[in-house]
Chains A and B, each alone.
Chain A
Amino acid sequence: MASSSTVSGDVRRGARTPSAAPRVRRRLPAGPWLFAAPGLLITGVFILYPFVSTVVNSFTDRRTLIPGTFVGLANYRELLHDDMFWIGLRNSTLYVVGVVPALVLLPLLLALLVQKNIPGITFFRSAFYTPVVASIVVVGLIWVWLLDERGLVNSLLETVGVGRAGFLSDQWLLLLSAMAVTVWKGLGYYMIIYLAALANVPRELHEAASVDGAGAVRRFLTVTVPAVRSTMVLVGALSSVAAFKVFSEVYLMAGPDGGPAGEDTTLVMLVQRTGTGLTGRVGYASALSVVVFVVTVALMLLVLRADRKEDA
């Protein structure tokens, strides 16, 4: 035990074992591995294996019922020339740009609203949280009814003289509508995260700022925002990954084709459409999935890097 701790201590300090030193065959005790085995097995079978399998498949022309052969980078080359890939990438990116700022800011404002312990506030907290627990299919259907050409929203717009809008038939309105649903459904979830963060902001800081004459807006900007900044980064990272991988909202509102002429297709919808069914192109869909993975990892790194720069 003593020697192993010395070795790890040396490694921590950057020391190297002299090459002349006798090689010691290190063995790992089995006990911890046995305890970790169930978790490792589940991770291996349900996360690692599908991931590696997807990467491997992306280099083949595998189809649902036909194993396929190795085709090198052909799938990646093909997607560079696939219009639908670029449409999907555009829409997924627009989704991040449209949804993330709203999901970072609005839940924070909502959390500030419901933070105070006043009578009846629990009702509002629950009400704001309700969309989070509602099934996305139910939410999607309700919004489709509301935004239909003859739905409630269009009837109201017509009553006030604005006229009917093609929320479910116009390419851009459809995407915006789906974004609005995503924001509406996500508000409560991120509000809860912010409520936890706000509970840790020392009250004295607000009191001191008030004494110095700071108004509500200034207190928000100089006390609240810096105090919950790391939570905002977390919300930004989580929501940007979720937004880039959006599927259900757009699928339910735009239909399986991804809106008129497929113009509202997102990358994950494209993966689903390409890779499933009896004639699914599993190899090509895998290449698309790998791209989605790389972009989401890049997004996470970008957000975390921005956070680190702020800290520096």
Chain B
Amino acid sequence: MRISRRVLAAAAAVAVVLPLSACGSGNDGGGSTDASGKVEGDITFQTWNLRANFKEYFEGVIADFEKKYPDTHVKWVDQPAEGYADKISADAAGGTLPDVVNVSPDLVAPLAKAGLALDLDKSAAQYRKEYLDGAWAGHQVPGMTGTYAFPWYLNTGPLFYNKSLFEKAGLDASKPPTTYDDLFADALRLAQKTDGKVATLANVPTVEDFGRYGVELMNKEGTSFAFNDAKGIELLTKYKELYDAKALDPQALTATPESSGKKFLTGAVAMNPGSALDLGNFKKQAPSLYRNIGITDQITSTGKVNMYVMGVMVNSRTKHTPASVAFAHFVTDAQNQMSFAKKVAIFPSTAGSLDDPYFTKEDGSDETRVRIAAAKSLKNAVNYTPVLFSEQMKTALRNEVAKALQGKESPKTALDNAVKACDRLLQQQG
């Protein structure tokens, strides 16, 4: 057999031109949006770093679902926390997105815009009343109509502080700061008393901090960012004072939540936000810190604390829409959310669940105290991170905040630049 040069040339040309086909329009069709049919078929369910600690729980939920709907089979896959968004984006781009996916609102937004998330207001509206209104609205995308994921668990947390560091600085450890003004005053005093060796905070302000401080993050239409207002500038100016006085850890400019958590564990910083989950970590990893741990409410100027929302999305391209919707609802229904909440320090998003005695009745332990306080604050908590705030926007904000803290730009210029960069990225998102 001989191959002519022409054939080889044609093959080479196809190889070169093939990528161009990727620039074509649109996605090929997909599954049905009708979830009213028979619940049957093999579906895949993807969670976000939950297998290690909750294998038994999820296997139980899946077994219960398969028992309820014998014609179904659920394959469970779990992805590590690190690079979860990248894994989803690779699957979404490659057409291998699982049928039911654990997501957060910021992950849902681009998937919904790309037409990959099922609109539950159309396909599963009958379940809406089972969830807290705020939680159901958590997976709505500005500029789009519809809701693109079932609300799953919620989380919020107190502010932890190191009592012994407070005492060393001559502060009353039984009276932790409750307002931003108190926080900044205590932080400056702590830095001054320890000659800059102990910082109070280890993270630069994030978009949630701006939200909690009362800064308007976006305009009402959700088409432009607005955190460069007078209040935003005021917050950043105060953080600059903290940074200059070393009340903000010098490595805060490059810190991640994990690295600042470690700083708190080692006693290098006096305060750190966290959740009830952290108490167990303190007990295990830093017993001496645990003995000195102080717990206080999140500081907020709006009266509403920040909460994190998790969701369960149904892939709009699934071949088994009824089964996928049924399973997503099953995982997030009141009974399963409640039993999950009792295994781990999270909070259900289903209506009425937070009134359960588990979230209201004290038993004297720290864990219960944190849980009850968090559950109470969740009733009017807000997810301050705008749904459209992408990773690239977070980076743009952090970089500009860092410039302001280093004194390379004024807080106003830094926030103006951050808003400009985020608006540009928002427009590019389409």
Contact = CB atoms under 8 A, between A and B. Distances in A.
Interface in A161-219: 166, 168-169, 174
Interface stretch (B288-296, B333-341, B399-407): B399-407
Interface in B1-38: 1-5, 8, 15-16, 18-20, 22-26
Contacts of A67: 22-26
Interface string B253-296: 11110010000001010000000000000000000000000000
Name the residue among B22, B113, B116 with the largest chain A CB count within 10 angstroms.
B22
A261 interface: yes
Main secondary structure of the interface of A (DSSP, over half): loop
A302 to B, nearest CB: 28
A65 B22 contact: no
B169 to A, nearest CB: 18
Contacts of A262: 395, 399, 402
B251 A149 contact: yes
A27 interface: yes
A256 B400 CA distance: 15
A68 B23 contact: yes
A254 B430 CA distance: 31
Nearest to B116: A65
A304 B211 CA distance: 56
Nearest to A272: B86
A261 B402 contact: yes
B392 interface: yes
Contact of B391 (A53, A260, A279): A279
Nearest to A45: B15
A262 B430 CA distance: 25
B384 to A, nearest CB: 19
Contacts of B22: 53, 56-57, 62, 67
Nearest to A148: B251
A27 B2 contact: yes
B268 A150 contact: yes
Main secondary structure of the interface of B (DSSP, over half): helix
B139 to A, nearest CB: 14
Interface of A: 25-30, 33, 44, 48-49, 52-53, 56-57, 60-70, 148-150, 166, 168-169, 174, 254-257, 259-262, 273-274, 276-281
A257 B116 CA distance: 29
Contact of A278 (B15, B111, B430): B111
Interface in B219-259: 249-251, 253-256, 259
A30 B110 CA distance: 48
Given A260-B253, A278-B110, A69 B92 contact: no
Interface in B106-143: 107, 110-111, 113-114, 116
Contacts of B344: none
B391 to A, nearest CB: 5
12 contacts: A27-B4, A53-B22, A56-B20, A63-B429, A63-B430, A64-B89, A67-B25, A257-B398, A261-B408, A277-B86, A277-B89, A278-B92
Contacts of B4: 25, 27-28
B392 to A, nearest CB: 6
5 pairs of A and B residues whose beta carbons are closest in the complex: A65-B114, A53-B19, A260-B253, A261-B402, A278-B110
Contact of A276 (B1, B8, B86, B428): B86
A259 B251 CA distance: 10
A33 B266 CA distance: 63
Given A62-B23, A149-B251, A277 B390 contact: yes
B93 interface: yes
B2 A30 contact: yes
A255 B204 CA distance: 14
Interface of B: 1-5, 8, 15-16, 18-20, 22-26, 85-86, 88-89, 92-93, 107, 110-111, 113-114, 116, 249-251, 253-256, 259, 266, 268, 390-392, 395, 398-400, 402-403, 406, 408, 425, 428-430
Contacts of B26: 67
Given A261-B399, A273-B395, A279-B392, A65 B110 contact: yes
Given A28-B2, A65-B116, A274-B392, A280 B19 contact: no
Contacts of B395: 256-257, 262, 273
Given A169-B251, A169-B253, A279-B391, A57 B19 contact: yes
A169 B19 contact: no
A280 B430 contact: no
Contacts of B256: 255-256
A49 B88 contact: no
Contacts of B86: 276-277
B204 to A, nearest CB: 10
B150 to A, nearest CB: 19
Contacts of B430: 63, 66
B85 A261 contact: no
Contacts of B20: 56
Given A28-B3, A255-B255, A277-B86, A260 B406 contact: yes
A191 B73 CA distance: 56
B23 A70 contact: yes
B110 A166 contact: no
B1 A64 contact: no
A273 B3 CA distance: 44
Name the residue among B8, B15, B408, B425 with the largest chain A CB count within 10 angstroms.
B15
Contacts of A68: 23
A150 B266 contact: yes
Contacts of B8: 28
A61 B372 CA distance: 49
A278 B388 CA distance: 11
B3 A27 contact: yes
Contacts of B399: 257, 261-262
B392 A278 contact: no
A69 B23 CA distance: 6
